[in-house]
Structure 1
Amino acid sequence: MVASSYRVSIDAIPRQNQREVWREALGGLLLDCQLPESGPFQFGELTSKRSTSGAQLVLLRSSEQQIVCSGHAASARVAIIFHGYGRGSIASGQRSCEFADNDVSVCDLQSAWRMTLREDFEILLLELPRERLLGRLGHNRLRLPIVLGATIAAAAVRPVMRTLGGNFAILDKADLATAEVAVTELVAGALLGETRLDAETMTQVQAGHLRRVDAAIEAQLGNPGLTIADIARQEGLSQRYLQRLFERQNTTFSAYLRERRLERCCNDLIDPNYADQRIAAISYRWGFSDQAHFSRMFSATYGTSPRQFRKAVPRDQETARTRGRPRLMRGTATVLRLAPGAAPQEIARQEPIAPAEPPAAPPDVRASSHHHLKVSRDTTHWGYLSRTIPPVMCVESGALVTIETLTQHAFDDYERMIKGDPGAESVFHWTAERKSVERRGAGPMDGSIFGRGAGEGFGVHICTGPIHVRGAEPGDVLEVQITDIWPRPCANPAFAGKSFGSNAAAWWGFQYNDLIDPPGKRETITIFETDARAETAHALYSYRWTPQTDPFGVRHDTMDYPGVPVDHATIEKRVGVLAGVRVPARLHFGFMAVAPRESELVDSIPPGYFGGNVDNWRATKGTTLYLPVAVPGALFSIGDPHFAQGDGEINGTALELSLTGQFRLILHKSGQATKPHLEGLGHPLLETAEEWILHGFSYGNYLRELGRNAQSEIYQRSSVDLALRNAFRATRKFLMECYRLSEDEALALISLGVDFGVTQVADGNWGVHAIVRKTMFSQAAGA
């Protein structure tokens, strides 16, 4: 999960207040500034992230100015500063040192100094407790501020800081914890090389010996039997000489070794990377073979037990709002409780299994035959795609198939969207004794990462299918003609003749961190009703999500797991919302996909070349969708039914309402396609009678492009910029191949006659679509 950050940009501030706001932002770092008196303040951006250890990483970009530290005796903090660009100087008293691009400087916030920046600049500042860095230097004399020189350690820290600055936007707390340790160690080593030596401390040779000894100890901290004799023998020094070296630092070998081990344990106890590891395992890793001894030493040093120290660390509240598999997580201590007495074979049946031959089609099946795929626990897979799911139906090319789908939000109002409906009850059934569909998402079945439930909600959509299309092979194209769509009627007699849906303004929506009404961050569900004609929908009531406890006893503070029953006794309904407003129907399926080839379990949320959660409302009745086939049989699945949605899907969801659709599935074999737009198709393509609609995602094939951690990285790296770039490239290629335009012709037409729009910013892999009107080519040769 990307670490939460604090950001100030003066571009968003009225001009008369910009200088004051900038000084206030720097004041949070115990700094001040002097800006040029003449001319406007040109620009300033400050973004900060705080680690669990209390360190703070700050990215500063601004124009010419002087940054001033007056010296704060109570701060006990230092700043490691990487000068990305912008030349200047740092001065303290009568001493001054120059810095240039890519230099690293170290400043003490207890002392007075000033940094003069003579041009536009970018600096990355790591602020951390003073003792954590300067305590490593012992009694060596060091004059701060200092610009690090040509030591190997200084050369090594520069690319680390540069990498942190370049990836600042996607750094999470685990990254910060790891980077803090690495930077501190490297800078401490560099400072040892910069220390001022005299007869009262040690000679240059002794300082070199101390650095060698320090490195040898660091490399063997995990050896519980490490002694001064081992280090002396390894470095070719006498034990007595080593003892004198440590005495000059007012310490002993054993005290120094214990201090370094405790510091490493302290770092790991607050590092999110090791949140799942037992305290005993951490202490053993750093050389404490006796847990009781470790606890006593830790308590004596830090004034609290290791357990209380770990519990006191403020855990990132954003963890509860992680969509998709988190990066670098090894799991948590939470143990998922499965249904009592759940049969192993029942759970295993929902796990992907080895690919099998599709079931033989009935003897009388013909290309023109009509099939009906009802929705039930046996015909759905919840929250994931897989090339290994056995197909629930096998059809010939050209078959007409009626497919029922369910919204995963139906438990927002059980009475209106589930009760009395055999298909919905089959899928959503969940009691303390039994959960009908165990896996919900592509996460681990034991819920060992967050403890939300089987599959962890890494994927949320109820997908009907998959359907095997005979003869489909990788490289082919599956044409999906959407011939009809209609709402699933409510089966509860109390609401006969009506259909109901839900919109959730959720924590993954674009709006969540930009709310202006109290209480700030919140999730709101609005229930809508439509009649049999399904031309418009109107709101019945809304409520704010309150923590819900599922039948297995897991508490859900947010909508972090699909299909959690909402206890309406715990919510406060607000009626009269959106009074007089009618939402026009745009019936469509947000999710239509063939199985991807790259991974066995794929999160259903991010769309890709295989289709999936594209969330384009134009995929409605009368539209044709083309998908590139990636696995034998294509394995077509459909879900995420929507009554209506606007471009962007800004609050995270559409008007989610169960639908039934009628589709004709037509296979186009590679090399035999009669339609030029199908040759080499590499992304979902929509066609209407009047338009072509092309899609670009932040990453066209994120499963391949982002490597082994693709299903984590996609949630961190997506942007509209990347999606627009890929939509543009797809459109240019389409015009050049299908209409035989030159690149210059295509570029002119794209700018003059193609409409680009944001499809969605809710699905991890953000989407942009391009609309090409067919009428532009009505006079073209061969049109």
Structure 2
Amino acid sequence: MCQGDDPTCSEFERHRLDFRTGMAKERRAFLKSGFAASGGAAALATTGISLVSPALAQVSAARAPGEPRMHVLPANAETVHWGYFSRTLQPRVEVESGDYVTIETLTHHANDDADRMVKGDPGAESVFLWTREKKGVMRRGAGPGDGGGLGVHICTGPVAVRGAEPGDVLEVRILDVMPRPCANPEYKGLAFGSNAAANWGFHYKDLLTGDKPREVVTIYEVDARGDRNWARAVYNFKWVPVTDPTGKVHPTIDYPGLPVDHTKTQRNHGVLKNIRVPIRPHFGTMGLAPKEADFVNSIPPSYTGGNIDNWRIGKGATMYYPVAVPGALLSVGDPHASQGDSELCGTAIECSLTGTFQLILHKRADLGGTPLESLDFPMIETAEDWVMSGFSYPNYLADLGPDAQNEIFAKSSIDLAMRDAFRKMRGFLMHAKGLTEDEAISLMSIAVDFGITQVVDGNWGVHAIIKKNIFAGAAS
């Protein structure tokens, strides 16, 4: 049966939309029932596994105007912004608190193998269109003109939440994440992603063998139908100078969306033979528009989220973001099929995905006395864990002054990120869990796992994870 991967099917477009957005009848029924309905927050809170208390859940649900609606935001040249967050962007869709939205996202590395990740896909083709006369998306980055290559991530959105104001908190539940199936009939039922061991990777100046330095791209295959939960390497190739449609030569991967000409590369098949990489699809970049500047580079993460690059931001997780501008302006991008902590070589398996989310607005006036009362950073909640995201500079846009978007790339360190993660976890344990500072410090040393989130995004990250079941005694 066609699942949006057979262009010869008479209903190809309908099947493709159903598959990519997850809005088939059975998924509709799920999203409208049980956990996913507007009372879901209250149900979670009652079991003690959510930061949202029953009282806060009820207040937030009461503020919603009626039954939640469902929205779909496709990814194409009209709905994406490339390489930046901006408080000046017009929303691509506006939702009420409690509504659901399915958002398509495209990897900015799709042109590493356009046959597998762009060809035949109208949305991707419109975004990656680049001829001497025209770009599908002109502005790429946070700088003037076409952005100067400062930012790299293709972000779909923004989504405005009606009534959101600075000081509020936006809860984003990730209900589903699916690979975007390849539209090329040669690769029916598959999806693909790219891992670039790039010049911004932590490894780049510490190579042992071969040409030094070098950039190597590995293309991975994923089962788009969900029948297997692992990816495999298809081939790799060493980056060769790419001449873009304007005639400019790029010796390294220095500009997003460069079209690789594979007549000039040497593909090495059989790499990572017999190795199955567990997939954990997630969104490397997801967050709200900051207030500090009109255009903000998508690479360094900050207090409103953005390029956190934590693989835990996937299906079943909930994100909490402080709202900085009216409408919140949520954007989603940088989709990954899998990634390890640190994102060592500079990228994950960069693979286009589609996510379904529920957005719940918590007003500042309702937050007093709750764990969300003073939230001023992005926080991750999973079924088992609470995760604090520490950065070298918690709000680098404010911390580093008028040239912050340049200075951040020279001033990051793991030491600073570790200090921030420690402070955030200490504050959480003291204010949300009622521990004294001495109790919090002891508990952190014996029960909190600190890990390196990423060392490649300008504003480096360390995460702190605490298990929810540590607090099970409070309910007994």
Normalising by structure 1, we get a TM-score of: 0.52
Q: 393, 401, 407: which one pairs with 2:93?
A: 393
Query: Which residues of 2 match residues 419-438 of structure 1 at below 5 A?
Result: 419-438=119-138
What is the root-mean-square deviation of aligned Cα atoms in Å? 1.1
Seen in structure 2, the aligned counterparts of structure 1 residues 575 and 550 have a Cα distance that, compared at 3 Å, is same
**Which amino acid is 2:110 matched to?**
A
Task: Give the partner amino acid of 1:750.
Answer: M
Match of 2:373 in 1: 679
**Is 1:458 matched with 2:458?**
no
- Report the equivalent of 2:159: 467
Q: What's the offset of the Cα at 1:675?
A: 7.8
C-alpha distance in 1, partners of 2:469/2:236? 43
1:561 and 2:255 are equivalent in the alignment = yes
Q: CA deviation at 1:644?
A: 0.3
Structure 1 position 367, deviation (Å): 4.9
Larger Rg: 1
- More helix as a share of residues: 1
Aligned residue number for residue 192 of structure 2 = 500
- SS of 2:371's equivalent in the other structure is helix
Matched, 1:574 2:268: yes
Distance 1:597 1:569 in 2: 45
Which of 202, 205, 209 is 1:510 aligned to? 202
Residue of structure 1 aligned with 2:410, choices 697, 716, 723: 716
Q: How far did 1:440 drift?
A: 0.5
What is the alpha-carbon distance in structure 1 between the residues aligned to residue 126 and residue 369 of structure 2? 42
Residue 480 of structure 1: aligned partner: 172
Q: Give the aligned partner of residue 377 of structure 1.
A: 77
Pick one of 425, 443, 446 that aligns with 2:143. Answer: 443
Shift of the alpha carbon at 1:443?
1.6
**Conservation of the 8 A alpha-carbon contact between 1:366 and 1:396:** no
Which residue, 323, 347, 367 being the options, matches 1:629?
A: 323
Match of 2:391 in 1: 697
The percentage of counterpart residues that share the same residue type is 59
| TM-fit CA distance, 1:674 | 7.6
Find 2:289's aligned residue among 585, 591, 595: 595
C-alpha distance in 2 between matches for 1:376 and 1:366: 30
Helix, strand or coil at the partner of 1:650 = coil
The one-letter code of the counterpart of 1:421 is D
Deviation track 1:408-461 (CA, whole Å, cap 9, x = no partner) reads: 00000010000000100010011112111011001221xxxxxxxx21110100
Task: Name the CA distance, whole Å, in 2 between partners of 1:579 and 1:733.
Answer: 46
- Alpha-carbon distance in 1 for matches of 2:99, 2:458: 33
Q: Which amino acid aligns with 1:501?
A: G
Matches of 2:165 and 2:466 in 1, distance apart?
29
Structure 1 counterpart of 2:402, one-letter code: R
- Residue 308 of structure 1: aligned partner: none
Verify the 8 A CA contact 1:367 1:397 in the aligned structure 2. no
Matching residue within 661, 676, 680 for 2:355:
661
Displacement, 1:690? 1.2
2:212 to 520, 524, 547: 520
2:71 corresponds to which letter in structure 1? H
Give how far 1:689 is off. Answer: 1.4
Q: Deviations over 1:593-615 (max 9, x none)?
A: 10000011100000000100000
1:673, CA displacement in angstroms?
Answer: 2.8
Matches within 5 A, 1:172-191: none
Q: Report how many residues are paired.
A: 410
Contact 1:473–1:632 (8 Å) recurs in 2:
yes
Partner of 2:465: 771
Unaligned stretches of 5+ in structure 1? 1-364, 446-453
Q: Relative to 1, partners in 2 of residues 1:498 and 1:366: Cα closer, same or farther, differing over 3 Å?
A: farther
Helix, strand or coil at the partner of 1:403: strand
Alpha-carbon distance in 2 for matches of 1:659, 1:740: 39
Which residue matches 2:334?
Answer: 640
**Residue 760 of structure 1 corresponds to which residue in structure 2?**
454
Aligned amino acid, residue 201 of structure 2:
G
Alpha-carbon distance in structure 1 between the residues aligned to 2:162 and 2:66: 12
The match for 1:707 is 401
Over 3 Å counting, the alpha-carbon distance change for 1:389 and 1:751 in structure 2 is same
- Deviation at residue 366 of structure 1 after TM alignment: 5.1
User: Which residue of the other structure, out of 409, 412, 419, is the alignment partner of 2:112?
Assistant: 412
1:543 aligns with 237
Unpaired runs of 5+ residues, structure 2, are: 1-64
Give the letter aligned to residue 190 of structure 2.
K
Partner of 2:246: 552
Q: How far off is 1:671 after superposition?
A: 2.6
Query: Which fold has the larger relative contact order, with Cα–Cα distance below 8 Å and residues 6 or more apart in sequence?
Result: 2
